[in-house]
Structure 1
Amino acid sequence: MRHVTDEERRARLAARHRIMPGARAPDAVSATRAMTVLHATEPPTVYLSLAARVDGLAREDIDRELYVHRSLVKQLAMRRTLFVFPRDLLPAAWASASARVAIQEATRLARDAVRGGLAPDGAAWLAEREQEVLGLLAGGGLQTSDIRKQVPDMDAKVPTGGVNSKWGGPTPIGPRVLTWLGARGLIVRGRNGGHWRISRAEWTPMETWLGELPARPSEDEAYAELVRRWLHTFGPGTTRDIQWWLGATLTAVRRALAAVDAVEVSLDGGGTGWLLADDVDEVEEPGPWAALLPVLDPTTMGWKERGFYLDPADVPYLFDSNGNAGTTAWWNGRIVGCWVQDAAGKVRVVSRHTLPADAEAALAAEAERLTAWLDGEIVNSLYASKQMKSERLP
């Protein structure tokens, strides 16, 4: 069995993820493909993840791919998370991870519609809202607030969660219906009515947004395609990594690994991982490099088992209790701290460890690059880590 050391895994990460100076991508679409997908839970992450991987990339360049060429498309998928997909990978999401989320959402929505007194038959109520929303959007894209005004039941509030849950209070059902329709690939978050740091998306029929819709593969074919691309980006990874990233069943993961003819490799620490059969050649050490990545960047969030690039002692300071990453500073394939901005928007690196002089210099250069790109704009986050919060100015 081929053995892949932690050092080699970090070397693969450097080149495959396009975050190493000298190995960055030529454009936004190439950078997204390199990562399989981009996290889009917070709007700035998309822009900052791409800026970290493409030299000289302007916000307008990213907007053009998202809203004009539509080569990059937002889609709710794995783990009920919003991602930016390369356009050609959307059918695989619709038939697998997104479909799984949609089924789960439909069950909850139907239950809560009944509990909220909206209808005795929750499934029928949901089907009616689907037709109303799709009919309304046939006239053009609308923001959530506009849809709620024009479809009365979409403005209703229903109880959610358990009886004794702190999340059990009344919440609007309309946004959840739109999320469900989006997961099914029927509608899409289209043009943004806000700026790059906030989301005021106009919901638009997917067919209107993309034109003729591509055919959807079978569920097994879809999962296999997602796993194939994940392995190219993140391999070697463990079965646990893949199952977590996909938000799928172990059975689905095993079928997908078999379908792509993945080969098992041994890892440091005694574990085993997977690589594509045509991707088992040893990767050379790339030399020293530094990078600054945003909250929820796909590199930081690519694996469940993160020990080869993250000191376990740093997790409470750089991740929240749910495993969501704040900003991160990287040196030679390891997370060594985070970055913050001062009141003027200048980026400053906060190290968790004592670093050698060349690491400090390289990270300082990346901080200057990111400061210039941000050009005085301040980026806030709901996922600020403990370390980020402790460094905020009073």
Structure 2
Amino acid sequence: MVRISARQRQARLATRHRLAVKAATPEEAAASVVALHGTDPATVFLSAGARLAAPGPGPVERALYADRTLVRMTGMRRTVFVVPAELVPVVHHSSMPAIALRERRSLLKVFGEGGWDEARLTDVQASVLRALAEAGEVTAAELGVLEPRLREQIKVNAGKRYEGMISVGSRLLGLMAMEGLLVRCGRASGTWISSIHRWGLAPEMPKLAAADAQVELVRRWLAAFGPGTEADLKWWTGWTLADVRRALAAVGAAEVELDEGVGHVLPGDLEEVPQPEPWAALLPALDPTPMGWQARDWYLPAAHRAELFDRSGNVGPTVRITAATAGGNPNLDYIEVVQ
């Protein structure tokens, strides 16, 4: 079994994630890490900028809002990503049916506290689709005018200290996006860090069997993040271990020896990658590179993990310097080198 060292993994990361060798376009930058994390609007621009030869908001806005070659969608682990348009069907069919089913059940349970049932929810959903077919792309607030039931408030967790009110639209629109019915479109107002966007009808999506979509997503993950372990893939995708193993077998992944055990690479990806020239990258919170693996000791000593990652495995802003990782607080008031 071929052994791949931590230093060699760092060389692969630097080159393939476009940190040492920059990308020409935001589309190339996103594809280099499969998808950009999109929960925080600023992360999309900063993650792309860290990988672009000519960084700036303009190219990313062009890809997101004009050309729509990058699409913001809910994907693996119920997380919002910005995905190359051609990869949207793969991400959706590999992960979203199961996530959307769980979300619908959860939503019906929550809404049931406010007297809603599935028939009423389905009726509002159909009304939203009709409204968007007529109006085109609108904000959630504008959609609430077209379909007032979206603005209805429901009390949740009644009698508990975290009791609160939520609007129907705050949950339903997200569910409809998970089901492939709606898409987050152009920014409605504000600057590139604004989180206010428009909703529109999702374009028709090519049909893919879930197993085929999972195989393609694993192939892309291995191309970007390999070598990695089954545990890494299970964490990154949110799938069952059985699904991960089935996809790895279908890809024909080759086993390699890593410090933490058996890893996997694409067939034919066993040759050493040349060490790049010295490089440095400023990466925002939730950047795809540090978020790519569950096991992180090969690039960050375990003693420092709590300084950069929260309990859910989400990373704060980091600085990567050749084969080192440095981290700072969310405001970057200071930077502490930890390796």
Match of 1:210 in 2: none
| Structure 1 residue 288, shift from structure 2 partner | 2.7
Equivalent pair of 1:94/1:216 in contact (CA under 8 Å):
no
| Structure 1 residue 336, shift from structure 2 partner | 1.9
What does the per-residue CA deviation read over 1:213-262, in whole Å, with 9 as the maximum and x for residues that have no partner? 34121000011111110111111111111011111111211111111111
Inter-CA distance 162–273: structure 2 relative to 1 (3 Å threshold)? farther
CA distance in structure 1 between the aligned counterparts of 2:158 and 2:83, rounded to whole angstroms: 34
Secondary structure at the aligned position of 2:137 is classed as coil
Secondary structure at the aligned position of 2:211 is classed as helix
Equivalent pair of 2:158/2:164 in contact (CA under 8 Å):
no
Q: CA RMSD in A?
A: 1.9
| Structure 1 residue 57, shift from structure 2 partner | 2.7
Q: Return the structure number with greater relative CO, CA threshold 8 A, min gap 6.
A: 2
Match of 2:69 in 1: 71
Inter-CA distance 312–162: structure 2 relative to 1 (3 Å threshold)? farther
Which residues of 2 match residues 83-94 of structure 1 at below 5 A?
Answer: 83-94=81-92
Matched residues, percent identical?
Answer: 37
CA distance in structure 1 between the aligned counterparts of 2:93 and 2:251, rounded to whole angstroms: 17
Match of 1:227 in 2: 218
CA distance in structure 2 between the aligned counterparts of 1:33 and 1:163, rounded to whole angstroms: 47
| Structure 1 residue 168, shift from structure 2 partner | 4.5
CA distance in structure 2 between the aligned counterparts of 1:189 and 1:241, rounded to whole angstroms: 29
Which of 155, 164, 171 is equivalent to 2:166? 171
Match of 1:364 in 2: none
What does the per-residue CA deviation read over 1:339-363, in whole Å, with 9 as the maximum and x for residues that have no partner? 766xxxxx7760234x8xxxxxxxx
Count of equivalent residues:
337
CA distance in structure 2 between the aligned counterparts of 1:33 and 1:135, rounded to whole angstroms: 34
Match of 1:327 in 2: 317
The residue type equivalent to 1:16 in the other structure is: R
| Structure 1 residue 108, shift from structure 2 partner | 0.8
What does the per-residue CA deviation read over 1:268-303, in whole Å, with 9 as the maximum and x for residues that have no partner? 14x111111121212222243211101110001111
Inter-CA distance 56–159: structure 2 relative to 1 (3 Å threshold)? same
| Structure 1 residue 159, shift from structure 2 partner | 4.2
- Alignment of 1:35 with 2:15, yes or no, is no
CA distance in structure 1 between the aligned counterparts of 2:279 and 2:97, rounded to whole angstroms: 39
The residue type equivalent to 2:138 in the other structure is: L
CA distance in structure 2 between the aligned counterparts of 1:91 and 1:114, rounded to whole angstroms: 32
Match of 2:5 in 1: 5
Which of 201, 204, 207 is equivalent to 2:200? 204
Equivalent pair of 1:181/1:187 in contact (CA under 8 Å):
yes
Equivalent pair of 2:24/2:54 in contact (CA under 8 Å):
no
Equivalent pair of 1:38/1:49 in contact (CA under 8 Å):
yes
Match of 1:157 in 2: 153
| Structure 1 residue 98, shift from structure 2 partner | 1.9
Equivalent pair of 1:292/1:339 in contact (CA under 8 Å):
no
Equivalent pair of 2:151/2:168 in contact (CA under 8 Å):
yes
CA distance in structure 1 between the aligned counterparts of 2:2 and 2:123, rounded to whole angstroms: 55
| Structure 1 residue 154, shift from structure 2 partner | 1.5
CA distance in structure 2 between the aligned counterparts of 1:8 and 1:157, rounded to whole angstroms: 54
What does the per-residue CA deviation read over 1:18-76, in whole Å, with 9 as the maximum and x for residues that have no partner? 011xx111111111111100000000101001111012233111111111111101110
Which of 177, 182, 185 is equivalent to 1:187? 182
Secondary structure at the aligned position of 2:73 is classed as strand
- Alignment of 1:148 with 2:139, yes or no, is no
Match of 1:338 in 2: 328
Match of 2:118 in 1: 123
Equivalent pair of 2:316/2:330 in contact (CA under 8 Å):
no
The residue type equivalent to 2:300 in the other structure is: L
Which residues of 2 match residues 351-370 of structure 1 at below 5 A?
Answer: 351-353=336-338
| Structure 1 residue 337, shift from structure 2 partner | 2.0
Inter-CA distance 163–78: structure 2 relative to 1 (3 Å threshold)? farther
Equivalent pair of 1:92/1:225 in contact (CA under 8 Å):
yes
CA distance in structure 1 between the aligned counterparts of 2:162 and 2:227, rounded to whole angstroms: 38
